[in-house]
Structure 1
Amino acid sequence: MKKYLAIITDMEQQIADGAFKQGQKLPSVRSAAKTYGCSVSTVIRAYEELERRHAIYSIPQSGYYVVEKAAGKPADADSEIIDFSSASPDLNVFPYLDFQHCLNKAIDTYKYNLFTYGESKGLDKLRLTLASHLANDQIFATADRIVVTSGVQQALEILAKMPFPNGNSVILVEQPSYDIYLHFLETEGLPVSGIARSAEGIDLQELEERFGSGGIKFFYTMSRYHNPLGTSLRVEERKKIAELASKYNVYIVEDDYMADLGQEQTFDPIYAYNESGHVIYLKSFSKIIFPGLRLGAAVMPENMLAVFHTYKSYADTSLLSQAALEVYIKNGMYERHKRKIYSQYTPKIAQLIQSLDRYDERGMIQLARESAGIHTMFKLPRTVNLDILAGRLAARKISVVTSRKFYLSDYLERDKFLRISISRARLEQIDEGVKAIVEETRRADS
């Protein structure tokens, strides 16, 4: 480890342990250099990085001081409601200070250029940074094939409406799937059909039959941390889907919007296994930073770029937000924040599993053990009335979402389940919430 990084690690640990208290002045640069046995310039570099991380601040001709954290309880700390329904990130992990720094840095760097209309494809410098960033997930694409969008939802809507090179019109979607997109497709009257996906995966033989029957424009899938299931497709499934796309000239729209809310070092998306240009990869940056950012990226095949740009037609995402995101990623803040989120969400999923094992002795509720990210599914007995169960839980101040909204209106082969999201539920609430769900499920089943 480089010396300045070792100093940063030690300083952060001392601040966390209270050796350096809020508002306290840190040792002078020269004093710290003697303590750590290094040059003054090394200490200055470490202090500047700590300042960028908002751990300390400087006062000219005075020195460096530990940042005083804002007083007060975390958001929702006093709420009696156990929120298993919200898909939004935890308000208490939003990187407000880091992103504020990036906004200021972006303004200093780009100045008045940020207050023009910009181009519909997005800020050039951000797209170059995204090309490098996405390569870490085995998404290799040049910047000219990356389009910045107003969240993933905008890209999904454009893709649904625009013509595809295969000339087909039917959109094939997993069942269950992302409820907002299903509602959009049905409201717009677009031809859409469903194929079953469970916690065990997808029937590849049926998928091939559907691809081979003709008429499929694209297959919409969430390969990683599926909403609402919480599971990811296995390697063999991803490889096979990539192969079938090329064989039958069916495009895959791979929505990886939950990618950064978990940790799978060896996960390669479907995009990585397809060499024929039949996969469109979508990435969101709103879920990990904050929803109001409304920034996403679409990696498009070369032969579809012109049509996609025609349908997008104008710049609709803030250049200031794009420039700030570029700074945020390039400075390493994005990766650091991703690890922070993972460290906070993982114990919640673990507690959920532990509590279900404790209270559901009869095994009424099925849970996919490999769930990750922020969602999982509690599969219920078919005899349970979902509306009654949700009502009884609401009376006990427990908010849940039932499986009804995650299916097309005419899709009949439905499972009964609760989608459980842990992002807004406090760790100390989870055991109580799971206990209540088991009790009310047993009561409804009887």
Structure 2
Amino acid sequence: MKEYAKVMIDIERQIEEGLIRGGQKLPSIRELSLHYSCSKSTIIRAYTELEKRHFIYSIPQSGYYAVLKKVQPEHGPDPSVIDFSSASPDADLFPYLDFQHCLNKAIDMYRSHLFTYGTPQGLPSLLNVLSKHLTSHQVFTSPDNIMITSGVQQALAILCTMPFPNGKSTVLIEQPSYHLIIQLLECHGIPVKGITRSESGIDLDELEHLFRTGDIKLFYTIPRFHNPLGTSYSEKTKKAIGELAKRYDVYVVEDDYLADLESDTKSDPIFAYESSHVVYLKSYSKILFPGLRVGVAVLPPVLQETFSTYKRLSDIDSSMLSQAALEIYIQNGMFERRKQKIKTSYHNRMQKLNRALDAYNDTEDIHHARLTLGVHTHLVLPDRMHVPTLLNKLSKKRVVVKEIEPSYLPLFEQQQSLLKLSITKVSEDDIDEGISILFSEIKKMRR
């Protein structure tokens, strides 16, 4: 074994055993070379390798420090519960140590920026990085068209409340849709209309009619891995939506929150077909973690000034520290590596879920969508089945499933009886058991 490797392993052991605490400054290169009776170049190599593996981090003009070890929460999720309800990412898949390293680097690199207000648009260097990063999703745009927001939720709040150049006032949303946009619209008293979306897609003739006659300022859509259905639009449908938006001067707000889980290189967003009337929204929560609170909005030039004004008045600027850390995380290649790990894990769970649904759903009137990508799917239940009773029975069996009623507008007439099944918080080993219990309780209710 090479000398630097011996030093590296010994320091790694001390960190793992708590002999060197997280945040503790490590001995200088000279001190360690004397301690291990080796050359300074050996210690430099050991420190370099430990930094690559995120056991330590360096601060110029200061020295090397140990990265904090991951601490398990005292009150984590109950392992006896099989949770198909949560939309939150799996905490065990997320890069706390890696990102902590990036935060420390960001504090050092951008120390002067942290003591001044930034700009509503975002950290200029991150905008340049994102402009290149978005090309992997077929979103080609200048940094000038990108706005950093405090999560996609802030972007939605701004877009729904700000005036649009088409002078229209009504928001059109798919039914069902993301439940928080429904609450947002209700909270602000914004006029809203719904259009049915199912596993087969959307009625384009009805969409055209609403665009033409409905006073629609924007159409909020989740074309890819829809929340809560889990389904995606065909390329033909996405092209048609872009064409209709331009023809009738309606702006499409495209929420591509799970773009990083896509494996089909030919699957493009609506933005790729029509950018003049599309606002493209991108989240980094699903690959990193929700607490990052960094969202991206790619805006047509005609919307930028108004959006910027509303953004500045809502929070002055988004967290400069989060932005700087995200920039480093992407630039160092950590983002791409983590994305591949998460995609593999979620893909395996979805495959397991599909197999379980195929095995246990032997009913004639309950349909399950068979999806291979994304993080959730849905069941279509008979209208006569009382869903709250089913959820209560499942809860007693320690299986948690989510009803989709909050994803519908209260007065929308064409509501389906649906259950959403998410795989982000359920372990691969528990999926089969959970689906078995689900259909067992359904059959008991029928008897």
Is 1:180 the counterpart of 2:183? The answer is no
CA distance in 1, matches of 2:79, 2:321: 34
Aligned to 1:15: none
Alpha-carbon distance in structure 2 between the residues aligned to 1:289 and 1:85: 20
SS at 1:283 equivalent: strand
SS in 2 for 1:313: helix
Counterpart contact for 2:168–2:215, Cα < 8 Å:
yes
Quote how far apart the aligned CAs of 1:445 are. Answer: 3.6
Give the 3-state SS of the residue equivalent to 1:428 in structure 2: helix
Distance 1:68 1:192, change over 3 A: closer
Measure the CA separation in 1 of the matches of 2:155 and 2:361.
41
- Note if contact 1:171-1:218 (Cα within 8 Å) is conserved in structure 2: yes
The structural deviation recorded for 1:115 is 2.6
Change over 3 Å in CA distance of 1:45–1:217 after alignment to 2: farther
Corresponding residue of 2:36? none
Note if 1:380 corresponds to 2:353: no
Q: Distance in 1 between matches of 2:364 and 2:432?
A: 17
Amino acid at match of 1:418: L
Secondary structure of the 1:111 match is coil
**Cα distance, 1:223–1:296 mapped onto 2, change above 3 Å:** same
SS in 1 for 2:226: coil
What's the counterpart of residue 87 of structure 1?
Answer: 87
- Aligned AA (2:407): F
Does structure 1 residue 299 correspond to structure 2 residue 304?
no
Residue in structure 2 matched with residue 245 of structure 1 by the alignment: 245
- Once residues 342 and 55 of structure 1 are traced to their aligned partners in structure 2, the CA distance between those partners, rounded to angstroms, is 25
Q: Describe how 1:22-421 pairs up with structure 2 within 5 A.
A: 23=13, 48=48, 51-54=51-54, 79-275=79-275, 277-314=276-313, 315-370=316-371, 372-421=373-422
Structure 1: how far apart are the matches of 2:248 and 2:45? 56
Cα shift at 1:263: 2.8
Distance of 1:431 and 1:91 partners within structure 2: 21
* Per-residue CA distance 1:137-162 (angstroms, 9 max, x = gap): 11111111101000000000110011
Question: 2:310, 2:108 → 1: CA distance?
Answer: 33
Verify the 8 A CA contact 1:355 1:434 in the aligned structure 2: yes
When residues 74 and 57 of structure 1 are mapped into structure 2, their CA distance, relative to the original with a 3 A threshold, is farther
Comparing 136-145 with 104-113, which one deviates more in the overlay?
A: 104-113
**Does structure 2 conserve the Cα–Cα contact (< 8 Å) formed by 1:22 and 1:68?**
no
**In the alignment, is the contact (CA less than 8 A) between 1:229 and 1:371 conserved in 2?**
no
- Distance, in Å, in 1 between the alignment partners of 2:371 and 2:262 is 11
- Residue of structure 2 equivalent to 1:427: 428
The normalised TM-score by structure 1 is 0.84
- The verdict on how the C-alpha distance between 1:153 and 1:346 changes in structure 2, with shifts beyond 3 A counting, is same
**Given that residues 75 and 92 in structure 1 are in contact (C-alpha distance below 8 angstroms), is that contact kept between their aligned partners in structure 2?**
no
Query: Measured at CA, do residues 78 and 251 of structure 1 come closer, stay the same or move farther in structure 2, by a change above 3 Å?
Result: closer
AA at the equivalent of 1:291: P
Distance in 2, Cα, partners of 1:77 & 1:246: 47
CA distance in 2, matches of 1:174, 1:98: 37
Is contact 1:150-1:317 (8 Å) kept?
yes
1:225·1:371 contact (CA, 8 Å) conserved in 2?
no
Q: State the alpha-carbon separation in 1 of the partners of residues 431 and 207 from structure 2.
A: 37
Q: 8 Å contact 2:347–2:372 — kept in the other structure?
A: no
2:421 maps to a residue whose letter is I
Aligned residues: 406
By how many angstroms is 1:78 displaced?
5.6
Could you tell me whether the CA contact under 8 Å between 1:75 and 1:91 is conserved in 2?
no
Does the 8 Å contact 2:354/2:371 carry over to 1? no
Q: Which amino acid aligns with 2:298?
A: V
CA–CA separation in structure 2 for the residues paired with 1:203 and 1:234: 13
User: Which whole-Å CA distance do the structure 2 matches of 1:74 and 1:375 have between them?
Assistant: 28
Contact 1:22 1:69 in 2 (8 A): no
Structure 1: gaps of 5 or more residues: 1-10, 12-18, 25-40, 59-66
Query: Is the CA contact (8 Å cut-off) linking 2:224 and 2:232 kept in structure 1?
Result: yes
Retained in 2: the 8 A contact 1:380–1:416?
Answer: yes
1:214: Cα distance to partner?
4.3
Q: Which runs of 5+ in 2 are unaligned?
A: 15-40, 59-66
* Offset, 1:71: 8.9
- Inter-partner Cα distance in structure 2 for 1:227 and 1:292: 20
Amino acid at match of 2:175: Q
Closer/same/farther in 2, CA of residues 361 and 215 from structure 1, 3 Å limit: same
Pick which of 147-156 and 68-77 moved more: 68-77
Query: Whole-Å Cα distance in 2 between the matches of residues 217 and 327 of structure 1?
Result: 37
Tell me the distance in 2 between the aligned counterparts of 1:209 and 1:98.
Answer: 50
Deviation at 1:191, TM superposition (A): 0.4
Instruction: State how far apart, in whole Å, the 2-side matches of 1:78 and 1:189 are.
Output: 39
Distance in 2 between residues matched to 1:410 and 1:100, nearest whole Å: 46
- Farther-moved stretch of structure 1 (67-76 vs 346-355): 67-76
Moved more, 434-443 or 231-240: 434-443
Shifted more, 73-82 versus 106-115: the winner is 73-82
Structure 1 residues 47 and 382, CA gap change in structure 2 (3 angstroms): farther
For the residue of structure 2 that corresponds to 1:220, the secondary structure is strand
Q: Is the 8 A contact 2:379 2:418 kept in 1?
A: yes
Query: Is the contact made by 2:371 and 2:377 (CA closer than 8 Å) also made in structure 1?
Result: no
Distance verdict in 2 for CA 1:445–1:412, change over 3 Å: farther
Instruction: Work out the percentage of aligned pairs sharing the same amino acid.
Output: 50
